Amino acid sequence: MGALIWLASYPKSGNTWMRSFLHNLFRNTAAPVSINDLDDFCLGESAAAWYAPRAPRPLAELELEEIARLRPIVHRDFTRAFPDSVFVKTHNYLGEFFGVPLHNMDVTAGGIYVLRNPLDVAISISHHFGETIDEAIAHLANEGAGTPVTDTHVPEVHRSWSTHVASWTAVPNPQLLVLRYEDLLLKPRKHFKKVAQFLGLKPSPERLERAIRNSSFKALKAQEQKAGFKERSDKAAAFFREGRAEQWRDVLTPDQVRRIIADHHVQMARFGYIPADYKDAVPAPDESRAAS
């Protein structure tokens, strides 16, 4: 029985990459661990299989409030999944749903939060959910954003990108490690080493390098091309598409960039995401539409 360590992010921001890195680090195998075995290592917070045994009726027949009340119970069940710390993937914002916490802190040891430039997230969201870029931009600003009940998942509560980021990062917490996707790309050894140290691990340089290499975008994409990936959306051609930073410069129009900055400039400024050539896109305080 172990306490939970949340691996949190807004969708399409690096959660799968982080899970793969940790899986490879712990397994320490010569070849990359299968991306389709990630849930053998890290539980999915919204996986319906954990909620169904606790539900009084089929999940599809429950009201959203009834599902919300199941969450703290299911999270306690998670602690019995492994004898040591239990890693749990979550895309939920750090808040409440129908007055019930979306993350049971009574059984939580800590968390790792990965965030990514929303200018690039918008592109990935458009591919993942089968939306146009303009629809994805609206998606990122939608305070009601989330996912519905399905045969395999209970609802996730995302809210807007800004609200999601602020909910997890506004109050510094020594039990939470906050990482930028772009820093993991630019200096993987430095920042993945931070992850290992945060978890109290001291892997050898060779072991750390192997985990980084086996979870690289190139390795993950190669696996998907060869064997598929069960987490790929049926609306997307591939889950691992490009993975690079600043692809927005090749895809978004200036107007689209300005709309995203107008919606999210408060949190973007906190994390250095406002491009130097778009500083003038930040609205005056009385014009701000971003979540703070």
What is the per-residue pLDDT across 80-98, written as a single tens digit (0 to 9) for each? 999 889 999 999 999 999 9
Q: pLDDT digit string (tens) for 26-74?
A: 999 998 988 787 888 899 999 999 999 999 999 999 999 999 999 999 9
Q: What is the pLDDT of residue 292?
A: 47
Domains parsed from the chain with CATH numbers = 4-287 (3.40.50.300)
Q: Residue 275: which residues within 8 A CB-CB, separation 6 or more?
A: 119, 257
Residue 176's pLDDT is: 98
Q: What is the pTM of this model?
A: 0.91
Does position 235 have pLDDT exceeding 80, yes or no?
A: no
For residue 255 the two structure tokens come to 């107007």
- 29 three-state secondary structure: coil
What is the pLDDT at residue 41? 86
Mean pLDDT calculated for residue range 211-233: 77
Tokens 């895809």, residue?
Answer: 251
How many Å apart are CA 258 and CA 157, to the nearest integer? Answer: 26
Query: Using CA of residue 64, residue 67, residue 69, residue 71, what is the dihedral sign?
Result: negative
Q: Which of 7, 10, 3 has its CA nearest to residue 39?
A: 7
pLDDT tens sequence across 155-211: 999 999 999 999 999 999 999 999 999 999 999 999 999 999 999 999 999 999 999
What tens digit of pLDDT does each residue of 121-161 get? 999 999 888 999 999 999 999 999 999 999 999 999 999 99
Is residue 219's pLDDT more than 90? no
pLDDT higher than threshold 80 for residue 243: no
